[in-house]
């Protein structure tokens, strides 16, 4: 059996540790209160009028303490009240401009992505219709420039000429879009037969003609295609006689097509 006096030093050590922990806890709590008081004091001292004042110059022989430096730096910052009603917090300044989104694309990056998207679509059409990428590019660019949906442009060229740039029909229609010389001269008076065999000229005039027909027929794509194929006189004669001008041409081009034909 141990003597009870052996436990006294241990109890004293525990008591000393408890007193030390209490002192540390009080010191930390005091530091928190002091820091909060300093922040509150600085917020109260920095008034809206203080933002227009400049700090007084200090003499070379005297330093500036931390409180004065904080007040001087805070004077140049916008002043916000410590408390505002809940409804006012949600209000937006009507005069302040909307901040630029940090994730927005700059014009160069946007142009680069649009260019990559265009090239991707051109190569997709090239693979779909089994034509060279250069010809696919010509058809795609001519269609978008004329305001024609590229898919419709490719379908029209496939049916009209099977993508043969030098195609000539027994009736005298020329090129990729099979234009008659008289029809082409309504859009370009001095165009020649040889010029109509140029892919760019032929596509530009042909798609412009188709776009005009869609507008004239108030968006009726099938009727516009029939006028393109049969001519306005034949289609109008059939309609005036109460007959359908359809000959299957419009169905071949629009089979599986869900677009409106135009881009705008």
Q: Which residues are catalytic?
A: 160
Residue 188 backbone zone (phi > 0: left; psi -120 to 50: alpha; other: beta): beta
Tokens encoding 132:
């060279």
- Any idea what the Cα angle at residue 17 is, between residues 16 and 21, rounded to 5°? 120
8 A C-beta contact, residue 147 and residue 263:
yes
**3-state SS, residue 148:** strand
**3-state SS, residue 132:** coil
Q: Over the Cα atoms of the chain, what is R_g? A: 41
Tokens encoding 97:
């401009």
Burial 45-55 (b: 16+ CB within 10 A, else e): ebeeeeeeeee
- H runs (alpha helix) in 178-231: 181-184, 193-196, 199-216, 221-230
8 A C-beta contact, residue 172 and residue 181:
yes
CA 139 to centroid of chain Cα atoms: 25
């Amino acid at each position: 059996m141990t003597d009870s006096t052996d436990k006294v030093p241990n109890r004293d050590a525990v008591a000393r540790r408890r007193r030390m922990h209490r002192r540390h806890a009080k010191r930390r709590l005091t530091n928190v209160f002091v820091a909060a008081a300093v922040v509150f004091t600085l917020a109260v001292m920095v008034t809206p009028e203080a933002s227009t004042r400049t700090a007084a110059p200090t003499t070379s022989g005297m330093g500036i303490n931390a409180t004065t430096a904080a007040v001087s730096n805070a004077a140049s910052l916008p002043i916000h009240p410590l408390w505002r009603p809940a409804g006012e917090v949600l209000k937006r300044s009507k005069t302040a401009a909307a901040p630029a989104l940090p994730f927005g694309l700059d014009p160069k990056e946007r142009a680069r992505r649009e260019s990559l998207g265009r090239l991707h679509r051109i190569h997709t059409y090239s693979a779909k219709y089994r034509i060279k990428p250069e010809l696919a590019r010509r058809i795609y660019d001519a269609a978008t420039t004329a305001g024609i949906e590229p898919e419709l442009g490719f379908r029209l060229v496939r049916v009209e000429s099977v993508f043969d740039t030098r195609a000539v029909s027994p009736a005298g229609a020329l090129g990729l879009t099979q234009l008659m010389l008289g029809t082409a001269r309504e859009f370009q008076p001095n165009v020649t037969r040889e010029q109509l065999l140029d892919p760019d000229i032929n596509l530009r005039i042909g798609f412009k003609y188709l776009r005009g027909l869609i507008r004239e027929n108030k968006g009726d794509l099938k009727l516009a295609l029939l006028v393109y194929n049969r001519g306005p006189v034949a289609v109008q004669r059939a309609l005036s006689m109460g007959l359908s001008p359809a000959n299957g041409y419009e169905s071949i081009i629009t089979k599986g097509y869900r677009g409106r034909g135009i881009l705008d």
